[in-house]
Each structure stands twice: as structure tokens, then as C-alpha cells.
Amino acid sequence: MQVVVASKNPVKINATQEGFRQIFPKGELSVTGLSVPSGVSDQPMTDEETLQGAANRARNARHEQPDADYWVGIEGGLDETPQGLIAFAWVVILSQNQMGQSRTSTFHLPPKVTELIHQGIELGHANDQVFGEKNSKQKGGAVGSLTGGVLGRTEYYVQAVMLALVPFKNPEIYPIH
């Protein structure tokens, strides 16, 4: 099974590999990363824009490397709620004839991070400034910083990858797209 992740970020590649291994434990798995554009802002600021970015990444990866079995787009995003700014990610998985998608759980960002984001700074950079980290988005991410490393960005994405694979695990009950 050849899987292309629409990113070179090791967090997204590792989360995809782990999600596929858990849903399809038998068989050989090859997961590679490919840098492709999302077609949305560097920091998506709505649920819709984030989903669009994940879908665009998966489609762009399929276009660039059409010989794979699956293409995975993972896009982190933010959304304003009455309770404050929340963070989450969308996962879109494509095959030649099917699509699956899922969103991670959400968490609220602290005021200092939110303030930097409102100044136009991307979440990863804002997180690095507030927590004194370097390149956290390729490590534990904001979720890792906020949980003291109990939940890292890779683990945070794995569940959404597995849930996006549900239509592929159960093709007899999901319509072909």
C-alpha cells in the first residue's frame, strides 16, 4: 500500500503511518511526504478554510504522484468561537474512487497565543514565542506545549487519520465518491 502525505512535516507523516497501521494492520505500507500547496492561507482561520486546505493538499498530492494508492491532506486551522480561539485540524484521505475525512478534537488557545495570532503570526510561530520553543509545529505543537507533552501533535492527528479511513475500511457501506 503506497500512501503519499501532502506534506514533508514529520508529524503529519508519522501520524499518517500510525493511523494506517492501526486500521490496516496487515500488509506492507510505504508512506512518503510530498510538499504541495494548500491553496489557502498559511494560517487558516475558519473551519471551512481548514477543510478546504486539507482537501486541496490531498488532491494536489494525487495530481503530483498519481501512482499511489492513497493521498492524505492534513491541515491545521483555527476558528473564533464565543469562548475564544480554538485550534484543530482536518484530515482528508483520497483513493482513486473514494474520499474520507475527519476533524481532530479542538482545544482553546491561551490569550497570549491568541493575541499574537490576531497580529498575523501563524500558530506555530506564536506558540514558539510564548513557550520559548523552536519549530514546535514539527514536534509536539501547541497541543504538546499546552499539555506538558502528555499529548503531542502526532498522537493528536492519529485518531483523525483513523476516522478518515472509515470509508476505506468499510467500502460496502460507504458510497463511492
Q: In this predicted model, what pLDDT tens digit does every residue of 131-152 receive, in sequence order?
A: 999 988 878 899 999 999 999 9
| Per-residue model confidence (pLDDT) at position 49 | 98
Task: Give the C-alpha separation, 20 to 91, whole Å.
Answer: 13
Is 76 in a helix, a strand, or coil? strand
- The answer to whether residues 93 and 39 touch, using CB atoms and an 8 Å cutoff, is no
- The answer to whether residues 67 and 82 touch, using CB atoms and an 8 Å cutoff, is no
14 lies in a domain?
A: yes
Q: Return the H-helix or E-strand segment holding 19.
A: helix 10-23
127 lies in a domain?
A: no
Q: Which three cell numbers stand for residue 139?
A: 514536534
CA torsion through residues 70, 75, 79, 84, sign? positive
Task: Give the C-alpha separation, 176 to 16, whole Å.
Answer: 22
Extract the runs of DSSP E, i.e. beta strands, from 96-153. Answer: 99-103, 107-108
69 annotated to bind ligand:
no
46 lies in a domain?
A: yes
49 lies in a domain?
A: yes
| Per-residue model confidence (pLDDT) at position 160 | 98
37 lies in a domain?
A: yes
**Model pTM?**
0.95
Q: What are the residue ranges in the chain where pLDDT is below 70?
A: none
101 lies in a domain?
A: yes
Residue tagged 499511489 (cell numbers): 68
pLDDT tens by residue, 94-113: 999 999 999 999 999 999 99
137 lies in a domain?
A: no
87 annotated to bind ligand:
no
Task: Give the C-alpha separation, 174 to 177, whole Å.
Answer: 9
Residue 131, by phi and psi: left (phi above 0), alpha (psi -120 to 50) or beta?
alpha
113 lies in a domain?
A: no
Q: How many domains does the chain have?
A: 1
* Residue range(s) defining the domain that contains residue 38: 2-108+151-169
**CATH code at position 82:** 3.90.950.10
